Chains A and B, each alone.
Chain A
Amino acid sequence: MEDRQIVELYLSRDESALARTAEKYGPALRALAENLLEDPQTAEECENDVYLAAWNAIPPHEPRDYLFPFLARIARHAALDRCRERSRQKRSAPLVQLTGELERCLPAPDNAAERLDALALEEVINRFLGNLSQENRNIFLRRYWYMDSISAIAERYSLTQSKVKVSLCRSRNRLREHLKKEGL
C-alpha cells in the first residue's frame, strides 16, 4: 500500500492504518530501535510506541510524502528515551560509542544547545548535511540517524569498513568545523 493511502487511513481514524504501517515498516522500525538498544524485546516495545504515537500525531500531522522518516524519527526518539531510562552503568554500548564519536565534533562542551532554538539548530544541521556529497551524507545518516554499525553500513553500500570509517571521520571533522563557524 502506498504511503499516501496509509496516511489517509490514519486521517479517517481507520485502525487498519496500524496494521498496514506494521506490515510495511515494522521490521525497519524495530531494527532501528534494536541498533541502539541491543534488546529485541525492548525494541519491540519501541515499535509499539511508534504506532501509538503515530495514531495520536496523525492528524494534525499529515506526512503523506515522508511517512517513513516521520515514523523512524518517533522510533529513534523512543529508543533514546528507553536508553536514558536505564542507569548509566547499563547504558547500551552503541549509545556510548555513538555519543563518544559525536562528542569530538563539538568545538567546546557548553550550553550551546540552549542558545539556539530548535528551528535554528535544524537549519544548522541541514546546511551541514546539504554540503556533504550524497554518499557521505547517506553514510553519516546511517551511522548517526539510523545508528547502524560500521559493518552494516559497509555491507549496505558495498564499501570496505575502512572506507566507511574514513568517510565518517571526514564528515565529523566537517561537522566540527561547521559548528565552529556557526558559533556553537
Chain B
Amino acid sequence: MTGEELLEKLELADPAYVQAAAETPAGRRRAGVRRAVLAAACVCLLASAAAAAGGGTWLLDSFTARGAPGSDFTQSGYDLAADVERFPVSALTGEIQEAGEEIARQFENHDLASSWHPSTLRRAEFPSAAEARTYIGLDALRELDWDLEETRTMLRVTGNSQGQLLRVGLETDYEVEGVRLQAFANIFTEHDDSAAVTGARTTEDVEFSESLCTSANGKRYQVITNTGFASGYYGMDGYLVEDGVLYHLHLAYLKEDEALAESLLRQWADLF
C-alpha cells in the first residue's frame, strides 16, 4: 500500500466520526490553566491580550516587595502560565522510565525529618545535554544547535509515591564573557494535572517588566526582565512553548553586558 492509497482508503472512516469532525467545535478546554488564571487577582487585560500571541505563555502576576500577613519578609517575583502538552509517559522512551521506581523507593525510605522531598530525583552525571535527551527519549524535545560550550547539565525528575513521572526538567548551563545562562526544557506528563505555572521569587525589592518578541523564524516568545539585585546582577528570562514543551532561558548579567545578554536571548529564540 502506498501513502496515496492509504489517504484514499481513509474514506472508509465511519460517517459518525467524519460528521463529528465537521461540526463546529465548542470552546476549547484549558481547565487547569484557566483555574490558575481565575485565581490570580492581578491578571490585567493587557497581559491576557499579550498571552494570546505570546508563544504559549502568559504573565499571571508580578509583584514587588509584597508582604505576607504576619510576616516580616517581603517578596518580589512573577508567575507565568504556559499552555503545554501533557505527554503520555509512554512517549518518554529512554531509561528515564526507571526513575519512577527510584522515586517510589525514595518515598518508601523517606525520613520525615529530612529537609529534602522524596518526589524529586536529580541527576547531574550527564556529560552533555545530548546524553540527557537520550536518557529522556522524547521525540518532541528539541536539540538546540547552539554553538556554546556547556558547563553543566542537570536533570530533575519529579514523580509521586506510586512511581508515576509527573515532570521532567532538563537544565543546561553556559557562560559567555561573564553572562551566565541557564537553558531549561520542562516536560509535563499526563499524570501531572496541576496548572503549568512557573516564575521567580526573591526577597530583594526588584521590579519585573514584560515584553513580547518574535524570533527570526517567526516564533513568539515572552521576555521578563528585572531591575538589578544587590549583587549588581540583572536578570532576563525568555519563555517559549514548542511542540508542547516549555523552554526557558535565564540570563544573569551585569549592566554593562546588557546588549550581549539581549543578543544571546535572541540567538536562543532563533534556534526554534
Contacts and interface: CB of A to CB of B under 8 A. Distances in A.
A, B co-complexed: yes
Interface of A: 28, 63, 66, 68-70, 72-73, 76-77, 80, 95, 98-106, 109-113, 118, 121-122, 125-126, 129, 134, 137-138, 141-142, 144-146, 156-160, 162-163, 165-166, 169-170, 184
A103 B243 contact: no
15 contacts: A98-B3, A98-B7, A100-B3, A101-B3, A103-B6, A105-B6, A111-B1, A113-B5, A126-B14, A137-B21, A138-B21, A145-B13, A145-B21, A163-B83, A163-B244
Given A72-B22, A126-B13, A141-B17, A102 B241 contact: no
Given A99-B4, A113-B9, A141-B17, 19 more contacts: A68-B19, A73-B18, A77-B11, A95-B7, A102-B4, A103-B2, A103-B6, A106-B3, A106-B6, A111-B1, A121-B12, A125-B13, A141-B13, A141-B18, A145-B13, A160-B241, A162-B243, A162-B244, A165-B243
Query: Which of the four size classes fits the interface of chain B?
Result: 35 or more
Nearest to B25: A157
Nearest to A147: B7
B7 A99 contact: yes
B185 to A, nearest CB: 14
A77 B3 CA distance: 15
Nearest to A126: B14
**Most chain-B CB neighbours within 10 Å: which of A98, A109, A145?**
A145
A103 B1 CA distance: 9
B18 A72 contact: yes
Nearest to B83: A160
B1 A112 contact: yes
A129 B242 CA distance: 26
Contacts of B27: 158
A151 to B, nearest CB: 12
**Most chain-B CB neighbours within 10 Å: which of A72, A102, A104, A109?**
A102
Nearest to A148: B21
B17 to A, nearest CB: 5
Contact of A166 (B4, B6, B22, B244): B244
B232 interface: no
B13 A103 contact: no
A141 B19 CA distance: 10
Interface in B3-60: 3-22, 25, 27-28, 56
Nearest to A103: B3
B262 interface: no
B22 A28 contact: yes
The 3 closest A-B pairs by CB, nearest first: A103-B3, A69-B15, A99-B3
B70 to A, nearest CB: 42
**Most chain-B CB neighbours within 10 Å: which of A100, A105, A109, A125?**
A125
Given A77-B11, A169-B139, A138 B20 contact: yes
A95 B139 CA distance: 26
Contacts of A63: 15
Nearest to A114: B1
Given A121-B9, A157-B28, A162 B20 contact: no
A70 B28 CA distance: 28
Contacts of B200: none
